[in-house]
Amino acid sequence: MLHYLGYFAAIFIGLSLGIMGGGGSILTVPVLVYLMGVSPVLSTAYSLFVVGSTSVVGASGYFRKGLVSLKTAIVFLLPSLAAVFLVRKVLLPAIPQVLFRVGSTVFTKDLLVLVAFAVLMVVAAASMIRSKQPDGVPDGAAAPVHAFNYPLILGIGLVVGLLTGFVGAGGGFLIIPALVLGARLPMKLAVGTSLAIISLNSLIGFTGDLSAGRAMDWSFLLGFLAFALSGIVLGTYLARFIPGARLKPAFGWFTLAMGAFILTKELLFHHA
């Protein structure tokens, strides 16, 4: 029964990526861990593949409409790709499986990943709930040349790369505000550019797992991906009629509840 819910959730993940340009990826790891029974560290690798592949499909639709800023994506990806690959290839494999013990609780690498992920979910939820959509340039208007904030774009790119590498989330909740405020992109252009960034970031991170020799269950992974792809195709279509900004507060509260659940379960009820 949980597996069926997991596949349904995969469709929802794709929907949110297609409509909002991000957000859905933050649910992929919890779905894989709690509904599909995949280990936390392996779930971050699977999440990178699913989110990356799904975002490629979504970004291609926006690209055909001229709604991807290649200049902005390249500047963002310069630090981000290096960070995500090194985290997956070097840092994550170097972390020992057992970190320390507190009473009957064994703080493992899996627990560290889940706690870090839950904290990220709470931060992302707060961003989606309390923040009004940042003002960029109105759709159809040209952005002034001087408005492009290179330090902000490069800095957020580095942070997103580190987060994507460690917890397997795309970081759309950080990317879109950075694109709107730092690059002054119209919202639709920011969503398309965000999907392009997420796709490359996630897939490069996944190659770090492959090069590190991590074993993958490809039949399961491709099946889960198929449901997520159907969701993003539908979400990209619905984005014409449903403004992503309207959905963010409700999605934020749901994400907050999930983050609180993970923290409670893993920190209060996790024992050796």
- Measured between alpha carbons, how far is 119 from 136 in angstroms, rounded to an integer? 28
Is residue 15 within 8 Å of residue 231, measured between CB atoms? yes
- Residue-level pLDDT, tens digit, the chain, 272 residues: 678 888 988 888 888 777 776 666 678 888 898 889 888 888 888 988 988 888 888 888 889 889 899 988 999 999 999 998 888 888 888 888 888 877 777 788 888 888 888 888 888 788 777 756 555 555 554 444 445 778 888 888 898 888 888 877 767 777 877 788 777 888 788 888 988 998 898 888 888 888 877 788 999 999 999 998 998 888 878 877 776 667 777 777 888 888 888 888 887 766 55
Residue 224: its pLDDT value, please? 93
How many angstroms separate the Cα of 169 from the Cα of each of 23, 49, 119, 271? 9, 10, 12, 26
Distances (CA, A) of 187 to 52, 123, 148, 241: 21, 22, 15, 14
Q: Which pLDDT does position 143 carry in this prediction?
A: 45
Question: What is residue 270's predicted lDDT score, i.e. its pLDDT?
Answer: 60
pLDDT at 226: 93
Question: What's the confidence (pLDDT) of residue 131?
Answer: 58
Predicted local distance difference test score (pLDDT) of residue 134: 53
State residue 74's pLDDT score.
92
**Orientation of helix 150-167 relative to helix 40-64, angle to 10°:** 140
CA-nearest of 70, 41, 97 to 209 is 41
- The pTM for the full model equals 0.79
Q: Is 151 within 8 Å of 194 (Cβ atoms)?
A: no
For 28-78, write each residue's pLDDT tens digit: 888 898 889 888 888 888 988 988 888 888 888 889 889 899 988 999 999
Query: What is the spatial distance between Cα 214 and Cα 85, in angstroms, rounded to a whole number?
Result: 14
Distance CA 213, CA 69 (A): 34
Question: Could you tell me how many residues make up the chain?
Answer: 272
The span from the CA of 240 to the CA of 137, in Å, is 18
Number of CB atoms found within 10 A of residue 155's CB: 14
Q: Report the alpha-carbon angle 54-245-17, nearest 5.
A: 5
Closest CA to 198 of 19, 15, 16, 22: 22
Please say whether the beta carbons of 31 and 13 come within 8 A: yes
Q: What is the pLDDT of residue 24?
A: 67
Find residue 108's DSSP bridge partners: 98
- Write out 5-27 in H/E/C secondary structure: HHHHHHHHHHHHHHHHCCCCHHH
3-state SS class at 239: coil
pLDDT for the residue numbered 21:
63
Residues facing residue 106 across a β-bridge:
101
